[in-house]
Amino acid sequence: MPMHYLRALTGAHRTDISNRRLGRMLAFVAGAVNAGGFFAVGQYTSHMSGIVSALADNAALGDMALLLAGAISLFAFFLGAATSAILINWGRRRGAHSRYALPLMLEAALLLVFGLMGSRMAEHGHLTAIVALLCFVMGLQNAIVTKVSRAEIRTTHVTGLVTDIGIELGKLVYWNVGKAGADGAAPDKVVADRNRLSLLCSLLGAFLLGGLLGAYGFKLLGFIATVPLALVVLSLAFIPVFDDFYNPY
């Protein structure tokens, strides 16, 4: 990709177009990591609704081991999101070009750890550590896109995506026929936001495509299939870091 394209994706100066492009790419990565994580440890790591539900179930059943594992996973997601916010705000207060790229650099490093060391960790039974690592990565990534897009885009929250798609589809097919109210005013016309609908569908499609390729990749290659994902994330973040190195803030 051209340098100016990569700089626009993760640089400090944001546009709606760059936010949407970054959101699609990271939704793809999130889908791949989520699917790969399921093959690795039998658990989806971006699905906090499921983890919180499992916490309640295991508490009711008295399964303290699973309860502790779920609590660690939830805390790791919290910690990832908090770390992302700290890095972004640290960079913003210093005027860094890489304020949004710094969390992505950390994400790339952690994905490399998962790809290169995950198999050994699994062999030694450190499954809770693997799940916590991936939950941290998902929290880190979701917070990045939330910050850059001012909460318009999220890459791991598929429930929200599907809900918003349903809302816009409901508006799209709504039949705007009705009588004037008692005051004689015509009712407000229901209009779908087609641009938002297109964005939401593309994010969902990117997550699905990433999940398919992540599942096939892990099935064929094992943990090492995560390494190309780490390199993709690294390529997204490299240029703003390079800019800071040669043009200190």
Q: What is the pLDDT of residues 146-190, one digit of tens each?
A: 888 877 887 877 888 899 999 999 999 998 876 655 565 666 788
Exposed/middle/buried for 204, CB within 10 Å: 0-12, 13-18, 19+? middle
Among 201, 91, 196, 114, CA closest to 152: 196
Q: What is the pLDDT of residue 249?
A: 55
Q: What is the pLDDT of residues 189-202, one digit of tens each?
A: 888 899 999 999 99
Average of per-residue pLDDT across 46-53:
82
Q: Is residue 145 within 8 Å of residue 179, measured between CB atoms?
A: no
Planar angle of CA 155, 5, 231, nearest 5 degrees:
60
Domain boundaries, the chain: 3-157+208-246
Q: What is the pLDDT of residue 71?
A: 93
The two tokens of residue 95 are 């005027």
Q: Would the pLDDT of 76 be above 90?
A: yes
Q: Indicate the pLDDT class of residue 119, thresholds 50, 70 and 90.
A: confident
Q: How far apart are CA 69 and CA 75, in angstroms?
A: 10
pTM beyond 0.85: the answer is yes
**Cβ contacts of 199 within 8 Å, gap of 6 or more:** 20, 23, 153
